[in-house]
């Protein structure tokens, strides 16, 4: 539901087969930090399953439209790090969050 109240949201997109590339998460995080530093980008990957997840936070009064524009900007960032083909999206999640629920430190997360 779109409205006039500005709330904080988190966009999370999980892609198939990009987590196998060990150098990709760091390169992608560097680009995301340049372009979306305020969103506290997080890139996590699983080299076993090949899944790669990008999470970004943003403030919005129109989250559906803003999430769509943010997704397009993420696509351009992925192209800029060398991904020429559109990756397969396994999950796309948009959620309203409370400020305390978002991880404040950006980074690359890997399985322990």
What is the average pLDDT across 37-58? 92
Smallest CA-to-CA distance from 14 within 81, 104, 109 is with: 109
What number is the average pLDDT over the span 13-27?
89
Question: Among all chains, which residue has been given the structure tokens 């060398």?
Answer: 82
When divided into structural domains, the chain yields a total of 1
Q: Give pLDDT, residue 110.
A: 42
Residue 85 lies in a domain: yes
CATH of the domain at 22: 3.30.70.120
Average pLDDT for 72-81: 90
User: 3 lies in a domain?
Assistant: no
CA angle 12, 18, 19 (to 5 degrees): 85
What mean pLDDT comes out for the span 22-49? 91
CA distances from 53 to 27, 61, 85, 90 (A): 14, 25, 17, 9
- What is the model's pLDDT at position 43? 94
In this predicted model, what pLDDT tens digit does every residue of 84-110 receive, in sequence order? 888 899 999 999 986 554 444 445 444
Which tokens sit at 112? 């322990």
Domain hosting 94: range is: 8-103
Domain annotation covers residue 111: no
Within-domain flag for 19: yes
């Amino acid at each position: 539901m779109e409205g006039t109240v500005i709330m904080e949201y988190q966009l999370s997109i999980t892609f198939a087969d990009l987590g196998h590339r060990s150098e990709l998460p760091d390169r992608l995080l560097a680009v995301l930090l340049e372009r979306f530093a305020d969103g506290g980008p997080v890139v996590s990957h699983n080299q076993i399953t090949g899944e790669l997840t990008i999470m970004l936070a943003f403030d919005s009064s129109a989250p559906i439209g803003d999430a769509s524009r943010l997704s397009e900007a993420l696509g351009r960032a992925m192209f800029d790090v060398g991904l020429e083909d559109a990756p397969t999206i396994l999950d796309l999640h948009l959620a309203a969050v409370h400020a305390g629920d978002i991880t404040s430190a950006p980074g690359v997360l890997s399985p322990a």
